[in-house]
Structure formats: C-alpha cells, structure tokens
Chains A and B, each alone.
Chain A
Amino acid sequence: MLRYFTRALGALITKSPALYALTVMGVALGVASIVTIQLINANAVAAFAASVRAVTGDDELTVVSRFGGLDEKLLARVLADQDTARARPVLRVDAVAGEERLDIVATDLTQPGPVLLTPSGERFGDALVTPGWIALSPKLAASLNKRLGETFEVVSGSTRRKLTVGALVDARKSLPLASSSLAVMDIAQAQSMFGAAGVLDEIAVDLVDGADVHAAAERITAALGGDVAVLTPDERAEEAAGLLRAFRLNLTALSLISIAVGVFLIHGALQATLLRRRTELGVLRALGATRAQVMGLVLGEVVLIGVIGTGLGVPCGIAAARANIDVVSGTLTNLYLLQAVETLEVPAWIVAVGALVGMGSALLGAAVSLLELRREDTRSLLTVATLQESLLALAPRLLGASLSLAAMTAVFAAVARGWAPAGFVIAVCILVVLVLATPWLVVRVARWLEPRTLGFAFSVRTLGQKLASNAFAVAALAIAVSMMFGITLMVGSFRATLDTWIGMSIRADIYVSPLTHGRRGRAPALGDAVLAALSATKEARAIDTLRYGEVLIGGRVVRLSAVTIDLPGVPRRWPLMHDATGVLEMVRDAQGLLVSEPLARKAGLTRGDRVTVTTKSGAHSLPVAGIFYDYTTEQGTVTVDISTFRALVGDLPPANAALYLRDGSDVDAVVADLQQRLGDATVVVRSNARLRATIMDIFDQTFAITIILQGMSFLIAVAGITLTLLVLARERAAELALYRALGATRAQVFRLFVGQGVALGLFGLALGAVGGAALVMVLILLINRAYFGWTIQLSLPALTLARQAATIIAAAVIAALYPALLASRTPAQELVRDDL
C-alpha cells in the first residue's frame, strides 16, 4: 500500500501541480500568520523581561512604586528586613543622544551586579569619580560613534548633560534579548545630574538563602506602606504581558481568521481531489482494500500537506516577523513605553504552535471529506459523485441554520452584555452565519439569472451547479473580505474619530514638549529657561501649561493632568461625552475630576460619582465633574484644575506648554524663531499641524501589522479562487468540450472562466460587505469598548472601501486567468464520455 501511496501521490502532484501548490500554500500562509504574531508578541514580552533581568539579575524581589517615585529613605527599611541579604537602589532615566535613545539604569556600582555589567567581570572603580561615567553597549557606542573615554551629550527632560564612555559592556552575551539601549551609571551621579535627588524607581532585593520569597514580599510591602509593590521577576514580566493583553488578543484573533480562510481552502482542494478520485478509491475497495487502508491513503496525503505547509509556513512566519519587528516594536514603544524589540528569538513552543496549526488546519479542512469517505460503501464510490446534488439539497437547510444562528447570536449579544470576550464569540458567529448562508445564496442567484449569451450570466449559472467547490471558495473569500472591510471600516472610523477629537483637543497654535517621555511619576519638566523663552514670544496671546502626576484610582495607576481652567485667551472645551453645563465650574470650584472615557468604562465611573483618589499625601474623595473622550492612553487619565493638582501631588513644574498666537501670526515663522531662540534647549517645538501629523503617523504605524494580516488572509482567499477555478477547469472538461463542439471559440471559453472568477469575487464581495458591516459594529461597540474603553464614531471611508472592492475584483480576475487559459485549451475531442 505504501508503494501505491507514493505512486498515487506522485501522479496527483504531477497531474495538478498548481492545485497541490495552492493547497500547501493555504496551510503555509495560515501557519505563517500565526507564527508571525505569536513570535512578535512573545519577543516583546521577552525583551521586557530580559531588560528587567539585565538590571535586577537574580534578585528575588523588586520594590517599585505604584505611582510616583520611591523615596530613597525606603532603602534602609528594606535592608532592615530579616531576609534581605542585599538591597540595591535603581534609578531609571530616559535620555536621548542625537537620534539614539538611552535607557539609563543608575545603581550602586559599589555592590555586585547588575547583570548588565557582569559579563565583563570587571569592577568599575572609576565609575564614581569620573564625572558623567557611563557604561554603554558596544552597539550603542558604535551608533554614537564614541570610544572609551570620549564624551557625548544626552538630553533628559529639560536637562542636557555631558557623559563619558567609561566602559563597554555587552549584556546580550548573557541576555540576548536585552535592549542595546540599556546603559549604566552610578546612582549618586545620576540623581545629581538629572534632578532626581533622593528619588529611586526601584529597589532590587536579594534575599538570604532559604528565605520564603512570598513571606518576605508581604513583610517588605507592609513595612514600606501602601503605595509600593514588591514583585518577583515573573510578576514584572506579567505586568508587561498584561499591558499587551488587548493588543495581543486582537492580533491573535486576526491571525486565526487567516487560518479559518486556509481551512476552507484546504477543504475545497481536498473535496475536489476526492471527487475526482472517487472511482479510483472505489476500484481499490472493490479489489479488496479495506476502508481503513483507503482512509489511510487519503489521511497520509492530508498529513503530508500539513507537514509541507508547516515546513514552509514556519520560516515564512519567522521571516515576516523579522521584516515587521521594527514597525510593531515602534508601536509597543509608543503606546506602552516598553523596550524596543531589537532581536528575534524563536522559542521552540512557537514552532510547535505553528506545527499544531498546520497539521490541525489540514486535518480540520479534511474532516468532512474523511467522514464522508468513511460512510461511503464501495458501490457508491464507483458511481458518479453525488456530493454536488447533496449540497444543493442541503442549501435551504443550511440557510435555515444560518438564520437560526443569527437569531441566537442577537440574543447572546443582548444577554452577554458586559462580558468582555463576548465580542469575539459574536464575531465568530457572524462568520459562521455567512458561511452557512453561502450555498443558498450562490444557488439562488445562479438560478435567478437567465443567460442569453455565453456571457457573465452564463458564468454565474454554471457556478450554481458545482456548488461543492464554489460555495467553499465563496465562503473563504467572504470571510477574508469581511475581515478586510470590517477592519478598514474600524480603522477608518477610528481615524476619523481621532481626527475629530484632535480638532477639539489640539487647539493651540504651537506645542512645546520635552524630548523624552520621563518615568512613572517623574514627568520631565520644561525648565525655567524654556518657559522664559516662551513668555518672551511677542506673537503669543496666551501660554497654556500642562503638568503631570500619578494617582491611584480604584487600584489603577492613573495619569493626573493639570491645567489652569481660567486662563485668559485659552478656550476650555473638552470633548465631553455629555452636556457641558456646569462641568468647568465643578472642576475649578469643587475639585472636580475630568475622567477619560477608558478609565470611566474600566472603573465604572459616571458623572457625579465620588471617587477616592490616593496620592502620596493620602486618600481624597473627589467628585467626577465630567467624562471626556480621550484616545491618548487606554490606561486612562484624569484632568484637574491646577489648584486641585497642587493639593493632590504638590507643585510640580510644567511638562508641556501650548502657545495661542495672535490673529494673523505666521505659525511656521514663530516655530522657527522659537527653535532658534531655544537653541540647544532640550525640547521639541511643533506647530499644530505638525503635532496632528505626528499623532496620525503613530496611529497608522499601530495598525500596520493589521494590514499585513489582512493581506495574508486575502492572499489565501485569492488562492482559493484560483484553486476553485482550476478544479472547475478539470471537472468540467467535458462540458467545456461540448461548448467547443457546439461552436464556442477559445476566447469565449476563456471569458466564461474569467466571468466565473469575477462572479466568485462578487459573491465574496457581497457576503463580505454584509459580514464586514456586522464585524465593524462588533469591533466598535463591543471589542474596542471592552478592551480599550474607546468610543469610535462610525464613518464610511468610501474611497478606501471602493478601492478595496476594485482590488478584490481585480484579484479575482487575475486569479482566474491561469485556470481560464487552461480551460480555453480544452479540445472538443474531450467530449467522449458521459461525465457532464
């Protein structure tokens, strides 16, 4: 039987190489898409973990502030714990040097570690005495074009400092995923140079041998007070994973759609192959092959498709991840302030997941065919296939199932309100509803059309006959198009919403902000020199400033922003979710909070509620004055009047400034003038238009990977069209020969097939438009609100959708060309058997 298997497989591949290649491609692309996404996500979390480990090493615990920085006096209390062997203070400083970003880790270099420095095994005695001593990675030093002993300038917040390259250490030797932007300084020098005297970000704790880690964590937490967290390295990695949860979940869901499309493709291909080989299998059974042997034969072929698909898909996925790592890494850095992902490691479990997906999708795609084969007796295998007829008969029942499922989904949507994953369940149901309705729709339209020529209507009519092949191709395309339209509508709507929001929120003419983001609770300040320069701008009619702090609301660390409500010349209009009456007065006079929508949704806050706001000075009960649309962060933010801010977190300096210019001022000229006057000041000066463009660039970058996934799924669906038409060209050889015998020219047969490609495209487009419209509602109303907390106003990016529709039809035409060419070459002599 093995010999027969290899011979039969050889014949299958040599007879229909394109068909076989397309089937394998379906598996490979599905595997590639899941591997790409999982690989990028896993490496983002691993990069964070590696960078944490580069600093904390094997220390069991890290003390971090829940909000704001740590007072260095806490170090003594940590050292006082009975199980503490060593406690190392850590200060983190974000800085830039030219185009390069530096994650400066400042610590006590008189103690052993951190890991970042240990590979060299050196002690850095001169680290404390050389002004601005810093250890860089060789890669960073090379990027800065600096050697040992040379100096360079860095900017952090409003501070510009000169540092000296004191050592070159490569943490990647022991931690390959650690960021090359990590650099190490002595903590005393860093505190003094970067205005963080007495402040720490972390305390890395090494416990004595045999200590109970969790008991020690509890004791230290109790000793330090409520606003610190004591975390194990794993818990810190989990924090990063938690930050990425929504991001990961959405991308994983998208890659699963690619796999679903691939499963349909495999099913279609296998169904067609089995249909053609029914007689062959019947003969084998008649000659004494057992059912298990025949099943084994087919199963072997399916497994081989899975193996080859996986073998191709995994490297393709790795290559795609490598090609897109910069884009995704940029998103993670921009949105979640995580470490950049610079190198890609391929953990074995991802290869295993790829293999599982490849084999699983191949077997799932083959499941129906295999089950059917199991049921068939020898006699029915030897007769002409009746699958087409059975699917024709089933079409109304499938439509009934589709409508029932649609009704159940609607009920579920109403019942499951508030359950976050409900959106994904509903999205899957929508796709299944579409798939079930496909055969009926194809048959209905095919029968409704009355062809008068061998033209397009005739093409559609013939599609209705070979339903077993065509319905799957249409269903696969419908899923891909649903996804494409759904995401396009969502992204387009989100973009339009963001644009409107920017229009309401970004109203000043010029914005001035520091070069670096700053760490938790230590927003970089603009500095007196910068503020003085801004005040001296004669074109400015008003200067608004923004201060940042951190508070704890309902267990969440929330950014606190402060503005001066009554600032002459500055219009105060927030994009509120409700009537604005009395809101500003409450913010100004009654310490009211303006709460961002994501926070309001996640913490269940409504206007008028009283909220406990915890700061370093204690707990404060404040009223929610209003809730406003906000798209800056999914973590949530609260805005208060400057007087409330000072009462809560003290008098912190401005972190951003906005200039309102007098009418008729030349904004670009003022920007240029400011840049010149600020000279080497450490700020970015942007016009309103420039800032808007920057925000939109970040938005587009965020969705770049989504577009790639869309493309993969679409590619699989288009391959499905080619595959289906190739199958049709073979299955319908006798019918095509009849057309030729009755006087149809090759060009007519060619057009007939291209027409079928277009018809498949149109069916997919029509169903996909319905699916896309339903999906976008789920994405906007359920998934986005549940996972990100954003309201997105639906808008119709008509031009983009029209372009995509044209692309789908064009792709369908292109996909049909090769099968059409083969079909047009069918000679009339093929008409020798009764196989129409």
Chain B
Amino acid sequence: MSALIFDKVSKRFADGGGRLVLDGVSVSIEAGKRVAIIGRSGSGKSTLLHLAAGIEVPTSGAVRLFGQSLQALDDRARTLLRRDTVGLVFQFFHLLPHLTVAENVTLPAMIAGHAGEHAGRARALLERVGLADRAGDSAQKLSGGEMQRVAICRALLMKPKLLLADEPTGNLDDATGRGVMQLLLEATRDEGATLVYVTHSTELAALADSRYVLHSGVLESA
C-alpha cells in the first residue's frame, strides 16, 4: 500500500514573480519504506515535505496520504490529518525553550488534548534515546544532538504512520549527525512507520531503501 503519492504535482508561489518550485513531481512511496531525497539548497525539498504534510497545497496535481487526497480537504481537516498521521523533524529542532524536555515531547499530545495518556510513551521514548534523566530540564540546556533526539521523540509520540524529516542532521556535526540518523532509521523501523528524509549527504542517503534527487523542481530516481 502506498503511504504517500505525488501525482504530477507542481507548486508555484505567488511571490517572487510566480516562481515554479516543483514541476510535475510524481512519486509513490510504499508504507514502511525509508526514502531519502537529495537536493541542493533551493531545489524545492522543503516545499515537497510541506506538500506531503498538508502544510502547503499543490498548484496542480494531487497529493494522496494513505489514500486520502489532501487537496480535497480544508485547512482544518488537513491539520487534523497531519496531527494524527504525520510526524515532523526539523533541521533546527524547534523545541520550545519555555517547556521542559518531557513537555516538548508531549507537545503533540497537548495539542490533541490528551497529554496524560501519552506521558508513559514520552518517558519510554526518552529512555530509548538516553535522555530520561533530562526529562525535567529546560530544553534550552541541551546540546544540538540531544535537542534533535528530543525532537525525534516528539515526532514519534503520536505513533505517526509517516515521518517527514527536513535535513535532520543539517545542524549537527558529522559524528552526531550519523548517530541521530541511525536513531531515526531504527526508530521508524521499530514503529513500523514510513520515513521520508531530505539530506545533502550522499552518505546518509545511502542508508535509505530508495533515493531520489530533486533538481530545479524535478524529482528523479537516484
């Protein structure tokens, strides 16, 4: 079964003179697979992930998430689908400084209105990434690698079927980056989730089941 289908998806932004960011992208990603997308800065990688998460809608073409056409949904329905189905990992971690480590992990459950039910899972995830003893600390006190591990826990909390990671190692040194990538791959495998990640590194891309290259808005199999 396909977790994510892009069918001739194009995206043109109104600003910047109607710049075409994605040009007729078509791809089908099977559930449970780990897929890497390689591309330079400005090639449209983040836009592709935003479309996959329902944050953006395509100018033309269709995006289907586990069989559900995203453009058929309104903003609220897309948001709820994203909340319940998709996990997001960002290059800059985006942890909230005023929340503790544990609270950052449970943030998606707070948004969904049932943080209490997920408290145990949050503890287990932090245990898994070796940060259980930092649960009560402020997120500001963590190192970059620790922050990204917390961000991965946050992305996994709601047991998403699809994990989207936008250059998850882009802000880390090589050794830390490799460790984080390994964690991401193992965790998605154990959770049975599909992983789509964007990276500059061919070394990290090699760890995926399949790879694509995005060049000037056009996606090709690597």
- A contacts, CB < 8 Å to B: 446, 450-454, 458, 461-462, 464-465, 734-735, 738-748, 827-829, 831-834, 836
**Contact A739 to B111, CB < 8 A, known contacts A461-B98, A461-B99:** yes
Which B-chain residue is minimally distant from A738 (CB atoms)? Answer: B94
Q: Which of B63-71, B76-84, B180-188, B214-222 contacts A (4 or more CB under 8 A)?
A: B76-84
Which B-chain residue is minimally distant from A463 (CB atoms)? Answer: B98
Q: Which of B35-43, B102-110, B122-130, B191-199 contacts A (4 or more CB under 8 A)?
A: B102-110
| 26 A-B residue pairs with CB within 8 Å | A452-B116, A453-B113, A453-B114, A454-B110, A454-B111, A458-B110, A462-B96, A462-B98, A465-B96, A740-B55, A741-B53, A741-B82, A742-B82, A742-B83, A742-B88, A742-B108, A743-B84, A743-B108, A743-B112, A744-B83, A829-B50, A829-B56, A834-B92, A834-B94, A836-B95, A836-B97
State in angstroms the CA–CA spacing of A720 and B107 once bound together.
29
Query: Which residue of the partner chain, among B110, B112, B154, contacts A451 with CB atoms under 8 Å?
Result: B110
Interface assignment of B115: CB less than 8 Å from any CB of chain A: yes
Q: Residue among B90, B103, B110, B112 with the most chain A CB within 10 A?
A: B110
- Report the minimal beta-carbon distance from A99 to chain B, rounded to whole angstroms: 65
Interface assignment of B75: CB less than 8 Å from any CB of chain A: yes
B82 — which chain A residues lie within 8 A by C-beta?
Answer: 741-743
- Report the minimal beta-carbon distance from B194 to chain A, rounded to whole angstroms: 18
Establish whether residues B94 and A745, one from each chain, have CB atoms under 8 Å apart when the complex forms.
no
Interface assignment of B46: CB less than 8 Å from any CB of chain A: yes
**Contact A745 to B92, CB < 8 A, known contacts A452-B115, A453-B113, A828-B50:** no
Interface residues on B, range: 20 to 34
Number of A-B contacts (CB under 8 A): 82
B115 — which chain A residues lie within 8 A by C-beta?
Answer: 451-453
- Report the minimal beta-carbon distance from A52 to chain B, rounded to whole angstroms: 65
Which B-chain residue is minimally distant from A742 (CB atoms)? Answer: B108
B94 — which chain A residues lie within 8 A by C-beta?
Answer: 734, 738, 831, 834, 836
State in angstroms the CA–CA spacing of A735 and B90 once bound together.
13
B55 — which chain A residues lie within 8 A by C-beta?
Answer: 740-741, 827-829
A-B complex: 7 closest residue pairs judged by Cβ atoms: A743-B83, A465-B98, A834-B92, A828-B55, A452-B115, A744-B111, A453-B113
**Contact A451 to B103, CB < 8 A, known contacts A742-B83, A829-B50:** yes
Query: Which residue of the partner chain, among B46, B92, B110, B154, contacts A452 with CB atoms under 8 Å?
Result: B110
State in angstroms the CA–CA spacing of A744 and B97 once bound together.
18
Q: Which residues of B in the span 122-173 have a Cβ within 8 Å of any Cβ on A?
A: 154, 171
State in angstroms the CA–CA spacing of A815 and B121 once bound together.
39
Establish whether residues B84 and A465, one from each chain, have CB atoms under 8 Å apart when the complex forms.
no
State in angstroms the CA–CA spacing of A450 and B135 once bound together.
14
Which B-chain residue is minimally distant from A828 (CB atoms)? Answer: B55
Q: Residue among A450, A452, A827 with the most chain B CB within 10 A?
A: A452
Which B-chain residue is minimally distant from A466 (CB atoms)? Answer: B98
Query: Which residue of the partner chain, among B79, B103, B112, B113, contacts A740 with CB atoms under 8 Å?
Result: B79
B50 — which chain A residues lie within 8 A by C-beta?
Answer: 828-829
State in angstroms the CA–CA spacing of A454 and B110 once bound together.
5
Which A-chain residue is minimally distant from B119 (CB atoms)? Answer: A452
State in angstroms the CA–CA spacing of A582 and B76 once bound together.
83
State in angstroms the CA–CA spacing of A836 and B99 once bound together.
12
State in angstroms the CA–CA spacing of A748 and B111 once bound together.
8
A748 — which chain B residues lie within 8 A by C-beta?
Answer: 111
State in angstroms the CA–CA spacing of A828 and B83 once bound together.
12
- Report the minimal beta-carbon distance from A675 to chain B, rounded to whole angstroms: 71
State in angstroms the CA–CA spacing of A462 and B46 once bound together.
28
- Report the minimal beta-carbon distance from B204 to chain A, rounded to whole angstroms: 21
B111 — which chain A residues lie within 8 A by C-beta?
Answer: 453-454, 739, 742-744, 748
State in angstroms the CA–CA spacing of A638 and B90 once bound together.
83
**Contact A746 to B83, CB < 8 A, known contacts A452-B116, A465-B98, A828-B55:** no
Establish whether residues A744 and B98, one from each chain, have CB atoms under 8 Å apart when the complex forms.
no
A450 — which chain B residues lie within 8 A by C-beta?
Answer: 103
- B contacts, CB < 8 Å to A: 46, 50, 53, 55-56, 75-76, 79-80, 82-84, 88, 90, 92-99, 103, 107-108, 110-116, 154, 171
State in angstroms the CA–CA spacing of A689 and B64 once bound together.
80
State in angstroms the CA–CA spacing of A184 and B189 once bound together.
105
A465 — which chain B residues lie within 8 A by C-beta?
Answer: 96-98
B75 — which chain A residues lie within 8 A by C-beta?
Answer: 746
- Report the minimal beta-carbon distance from A475 to chain B, rounded to whole angstroms: 20
Name 18 extra pairs, CB < 8 A, besides A742-B154, A747-B76, A834-B171: A450-B103, A452-B110, A452-B115, A453-B111, A453-B113, A453-B114, A454-B111, A458-B110, A739-B111, A740-B55, A742-B108, A743-B112, A746-B75, A746-B79, A827-B55, A829-B50, A829-B56, A834-B92
State in angstroms the CA–CA spacing of A458 and B116 once bound together.
14
Which B-chain residue is minimally distant from A465 (CB atoms)? Answer: B98
- Report the minimal beta-carbon distance from A825 to chain B, rounded to whole angstroms: 11
State in angstroms the CA–CA spacing of A735 and B103 once bound together.
15
State in angstroms the CA–CA spacing of A831 and B112 once bound together.
20
- Report the minimal beta-carbon distance from B19 to chain A, rounded to whole angstroms: 14
Q: Residue among A462, A464, A748, A828 with the most chain B CB within 10 A?
A: A828
Which A-chain residue is minimally distant from B82 (CB atoms)? Answer: A743
- Report the minimal beta-carbon distance from A440 to chain B, rounded to whole angstroms: 16
Which B-chain residue is minimally distant from A443 (CB atoms)? Answer: B98
Which B-chain residue is minimally distant from A452 (CB atoms)? Answer: B115
- Report the minimal beta-carbon distance from B146 to chain A, rounded to whole angstroms: 16
State in angstroms the CA–CA spacing of A743 and B112 once bound together.
8
Which B-chain residue is minimally distant from A732 (CB atoms)? Answer: B96
Query: Which residue of the partner chain, among B90, B110, B154, contacts A831 with CB atoms under 8 Å?
Result: B90
Which A-chain residue is minimally distant from B102 (CB atoms)? Answer: A450
A740 — which chain B residues lie within 8 A by C-beta?
Answer: 55, 79
- Report the minimal beta-carbon distance from A461 to chain B, rounded to whole angstroms: 6
State in angstroms the CA–CA spacing of A453 and B110 once bound together.
4
B46 — which chain A residues lie within 8 A by C-beta?
Answer: 832
- Report the minimal beta-carbon distance from B14 to chain A, rounded to whole angstroms: 12
Which B-chain residue is minimally distant from A827 (CB atoms)? Answer: B55
- Report the minimal beta-carbon distance from A832 to chain B, rounded to whole angstroms: 7
**Contact A745 to B56, CB < 8 A, known contacts A451-B110, A465-B98, A738-B94:** no
A832 — which chain B residues lie within 8 A by C-beta?
Answer: 46
State in angstroms the CA–CA spacing of A458 and B90 once bound together.
22
State in angstroms the CA–CA spacing of A830 and B118 once bound together.
28
**Contact A743 to B79, CB < 8 A, known contacts A465-B97, A831-B90, A836-B94:** yes
- Report the minimal beta-carbon distance from B5 to chain A, rounded to whole angstroms: 21
B84 — which chain A residues lie within 8 A by C-beta?
Answer: 743
State in angstroms the CA–CA spacing of A743 and B82 once bound together.
6
State in angstroms the CA–CA spacing of A836 and B147 once bound together.
13
State in angstroms the CA–CA spacing of A462 and B95 once bound together.
13
State in angstroms the CA–CA spacing of A184 and B68 once bound together.
94
- Report the minimal beta-carbon distance from B16 to chain A, rounded to whole angstroms: 14
Establish whether residues B98 and A464, one from each chain, have CB atoms under 8 Å apart when the complex forms.
yes
**Contact A743 to B80, CB < 8 A, known contacts A452-B116, A828-B50:** yes
A836 — which chain B residues lie within 8 A by C-beta?
Answer: 92, 94-97
Establish whether residues B83 and A833, one from each chain, have CB atoms under 8 Å apart when the complex forms.
no
Q: Residue among A461, A462, A744 with the most chain B CB within 10 A?
A: A744
- Report the minimal beta-carbon distance from A410 to chain B, rounded to whole angstroms: 35
- Report the minimal beta-carbon distance from A829 to chain B, rounded to whole angstroms: 6
State in angstroms the CA–CA spacing of A31 and B78 once bound together.
50
Which B-chain residue is minimally distant from A446 (CB atoms)? Answer: B98
State in angstroms the CA–CA spacing of A67 and B93 once bound together.
84
A834 — which chain B residues lie within 8 A by C-beta?
Answer: 92-94, 171
B79 — which chain A residues lie within 8 A by C-beta?
Answer: 740, 743-746
Query: Which residue of the partner chain, among B76, B96, B114, contacts A738 with CB atoms under 8 Å?
Result: B96
Establish whether residues A741 and B98, one from each chain, have CB atoms under 8 Å apart when the complex forms.
no
Q: Residue among A462, A742, A833 with the most chain B CB within 10 A?
A: A742
State in angstroms the CA–CA spacing of A833 and B110 once bound together.
23
A829 — which chain B residues lie within 8 A by C-beta?
Answer: 50, 55-56
State in angstroms the CA–CA spacing of A450 and B115 once bound together.
11
Which A-chain residue is minimally distant from B103 (CB atoms)? Answer: A451
Q: Residue among B84, B107, B154 with the most chain A CB within 10 A?
A: B107
Which A-chain residue is minimally distant from B107 (CB atoms)? Answer: A742
Which A-chain residue is minimally distant from B164 (CB atoms)? Answer: A741
